[in-house]
Chain A
Amino acid sequence: MTSDEVLSQVSDIIRDVLDQPDIGISLTTTADDVEGWDSFNHINIMVAVEAHFHIKINTAEVEELKNVGELVDMVLHKQKVRK
Chain B
Amino acid sequence: MKPNPKELIAPSRLEAPATCRRSGLSAFRSSCQVLGLAALAILSAGLLCAQVPWGYWPPPAGPAPTTPMAQRSAQTTVQSQVTWFQNSTQTASNYGDGGYGIVWQQFQALQGAFNAFKGTLTQRQLSAGANELAELDAGLGILEEAFTNYQQDVADGQSSTSAFNNMCQVLRQASGVWLQEFNSDCSRLQVGWQ
A, B from the same assembly: no
Interface residues of B (CB under 8 A from A): none
